[in-house]
């Protein structure tokens, strides 16, 4: 026990944690994790926690998966890193082949980076430069969705919802167009299921119609606006938005950083519909949650607009030091192997009906306003008043209290505002799922 306390003290002496009001670390102490296996994280007091949010949406097959551990060790003994300009390596080549083979049709080229924000920045810069390279020089702006989230670097923040995490930085950001979010529970047009006629799509079209000559790309998270509150929206919205991008000649950038790699029950959220994005951004689950890696996929058409004699200035001058790190790539390839060997998506498909049905029962709780789910993602939006949908204020500290109550039940619940969510590793077993859902219900009912 004392041992742990002294480690935490040493942590607080030097470390500044992300998304954390460090003052809260007194009231909610940091947890020192010693090891992990499958769904469980163990501290050294003999406690364990179900990793119900996949260690920030990146763990896929569970912690310390033997096959992925093995692949990483093997790679480590032959090549740990090499610069990626003028040089290449087999793990990157294999990974690019494997990803383009399963990606939406037409996404044939891969540009590597090292996290989700950089995968998005790469797409933004490529789209921007594409229009410069092809003589449509006025197309310099972007359009994205209210409540969207695409990362924490300046460019990614600029196409994210202002206010959510980054209101303070708004004067640093470049201006971009924002279309209404397809947030059905709090429909911006005040509609409900039956009366909906996709007013949010019309909102998007109005902006595109007026400004398309200035817009390079539409950026969105397909089907799940994750950080914005696990807002799961109708497939039809995605299909219609993609069609509008085509109609008005702007690129479609799909940010699958959170939704990629089986989260929604299919390999990519885009696989639920038939669309052809110009860019797809991947990270988080790509290495099964082991190592940093980012990837921006695009088409031959985009690639070809940069392919010319060097003196013509069409080169894409962008890169990151750890681009395509071989150990990261090896772990990504190993993860794709596990998807095949364990038939992960089929196993998950078997669990989804139970998961969805059980989640729907949360609607009976007086403070539950909405329940949303897709694949192994579930969200429960808490409200003060079901009828008026009145929200809990930040001072009511619902989120930190839920977090603390969750820990007592071995769950990691880090609500996004008033949205309690589960973002489960795909390796979750039915028995574990049952416990997790029952315990989550207990936690929420405590606040009723
Ligand atoms: C997390 C996230 C990002 C940013 O990824 P980082 O690796 O944290 O930079 C971008 N887009 C979406 C949709 C995300 O969920």
Bridge partner residues of 373 (DSSP): 378
Q: What's the pLDDT at 7?
A: 94
pLDDT in tens, 106-120: 999 999 999 999 999
54 lines ligand 1 (CB under 6 A): no
Axis-axis angle for helices 90-102, 326-341 (nearest 10): 40
364 within some domain? no
140 within some domain? yes
Domain harbouring 277, CATH code: 3.40.640.10
Question: Residue 342 C-alpha to ligand 1 middle, in angstroms?
Answer: 27
116 lines ligand 1 (CB under 6 A): yes
Which atom of ligand 1 is nearest the CA belonging to 156? 10
Q: How many domains does the chain divide into?
A: 2
117 lines ligand 1 (CB under 6 A): yes
Q: pTM for the complete prediction?
A: 0.97
350 within some domain? no
Nearest CA to ligand 1 atom 15: 258
252 plus 387 within the same structural domain:
no
Nearest of 66, 62, 64 to residue 52 by alpha carbon: 62
199 plus 260 within the same structural domain:
yes
323 lines ligand 1 (CB under 6 A): no
Axis-axis angle for helices 430-445, 398-408 (nearest 10): 130
216 plus 308 within the same structural domain:
yes
Task: Write out residues in the chain with pLDDT < 70, as ranges.
Answer: 1-2, 164
By most ligand atoms within 8 Å of CB, the mutation choice from 283, 291, 296 for ligand 1 is: 283
149 within some domain? yes
111 plus 207 within the same structural domain:
yes
SS3 content of the chain, % helix, strand, coil (to 5): 40, 15, 40
296 within some domain? yes
Last residue of a domain, one of 340, 374, 393: 340
398 plus 320 within the same structural domain:
no
Q: What's the pLDDT at 249?
A: 98
Chain centroid to CA 200: 22
Question: Residue 232 C-alpha to ligand 1 middle, in angstroms?
Answer: 17
Q: What's the pLDDT at 288?
A: 98
SS3 category, 304? helix
423 lines ligand 1 (CB under 6 A): no
336 plus 387 within the same structural domain:
no
392 plus 316 within the same structural domain:
no
77 plus 159 within the same structural domain:
yes
Chain centroid to CA 182: 17
Question: Residue 285 C-alpha to ligand 1 middle, in angstroms?
Answer: 11
26 within some domain? no
Question: Residue 380 C-alpha to ligand 1 middle, in angstroms?
Answer: 21
292 within some domain? yes
DSSP state of 223: S
Which atom of ligand 1 is nearest the CA belonging to 259? 13
Q: Per-residue DSSP letters for 394-444?
A: GGG-HHHHHHHHHHHTTB----BTTEEEEE--TT--HHHHHHHHHHHHHHH
| Residue-number span of the structural domain to which 390 is assigned | 382-414
114 lines ligand 1 (CB under 6 A): no
238 plus 386 within the same structural domain:
no
Question: Residue 114 C-alpha to ligand 1 middle, in angstroms?
Answer: 11
327 plus 388 within the same structural domain:
no
Cβ-contact 360, 372 below 8 angstroms:
no
By most ligand atoms within 8 Å of CB, the mutation choice from 19, 117, 181 for ligand 1 is: 117
264 plus 388 within the same structural domain:
no
Question: Residue 31 C-alpha to ligand 1 middle, in angstroms?
Answer: 24
56 within some domain? no
329 plus 392 within the same structural domain:
no
Active site amino acids: 19, 149, 255, 284
């Amino acid at each position: 026990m004392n041992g742990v306390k002294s480690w935490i003290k040493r942590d607080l002496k030097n470390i500044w944690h992300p998304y954390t009001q460090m003052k809260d670390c007194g009231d909610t102490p940091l947890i020192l994790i010693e090891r992990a296996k499958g769904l469980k994280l163990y501290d050294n007091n003999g406690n364990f926690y179900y990793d119900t949010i996949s260690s920030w949406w990146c763990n896929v097959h569970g912690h310390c998966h033997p096959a992925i551990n093995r692949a990483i060790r093997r790679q480590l003994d032959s090549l740990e890193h090499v610069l990626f300009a003028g040089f290449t390596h087999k793990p990157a080549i294999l990974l690019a082949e494997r990803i383009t083979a399963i990606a939406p049709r037409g996404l044939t080229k891969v540009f590597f980076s090292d996290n989700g924000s950089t995968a998005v920045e790469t797409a933004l810069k490529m789209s921007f430069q594409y229009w410069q390279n092809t003589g449509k020089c006025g197309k310099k702006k972007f359009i994205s969705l209210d409540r969207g989230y695409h990362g924490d670097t300046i460019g990614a923040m600029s196409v994210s919802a202002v206010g959510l995490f980054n209101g303070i930085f708004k004067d640093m950001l470049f201006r971009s167009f924002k279309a209404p979010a397809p947030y059905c529970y709090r429909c911006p047009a005040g509609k409900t299921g039956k009366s909906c006629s996709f007013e949010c799509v019309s909102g998007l079209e109005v902006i595109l119609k007026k400004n398309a000559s200035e817009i390079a790309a539409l950026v969105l998270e397909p089907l799940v606006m994750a950080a914005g509150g696990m807002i799961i929206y109708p497939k039809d919205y995605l299909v219609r938005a993609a069609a509008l991008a085509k109609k008005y000649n702007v690129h479609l950038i799909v940010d699958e950083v959170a939704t990629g790699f089986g989260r929604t029950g299919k390999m990519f959220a885009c696989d639920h519909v038939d669309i052809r994005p110009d860019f797809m951004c991947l990270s988080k689950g790509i290495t099964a949650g082991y190592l940093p890696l980012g990837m921006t996929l695009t088409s031959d058409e985009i690639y070809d607009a940069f392919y010319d004699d060097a003196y013509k200035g069409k080169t894409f001058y962008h890169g990151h030091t750890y681009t395509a790190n071989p150990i990261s790539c090896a772990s990504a390839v190993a993860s794709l192997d596990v998807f095949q060997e364990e038939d992960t998506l089929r196993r998950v498909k078997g669990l989804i009906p139970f998961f969805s049905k059980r989640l729907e029962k949360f609607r009976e709780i007086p403070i539950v306003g909405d329940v949303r789910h897709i694949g192994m993602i579930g969200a429960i939006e808490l409200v003060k008043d079901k009828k008026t949908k009145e929200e809990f204020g930040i001072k009511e500290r619902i989120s930190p209290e839920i977090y603390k109550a969750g820990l007592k039940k071995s769950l990691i619940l880090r609500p996004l505002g008033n949205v309690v969510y589960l973002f489960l590793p795909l390796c979750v077993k039915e028995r574990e799922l049952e416990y997790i859902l029952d315990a989550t219900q207990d936690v929420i009912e405590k606040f009723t």
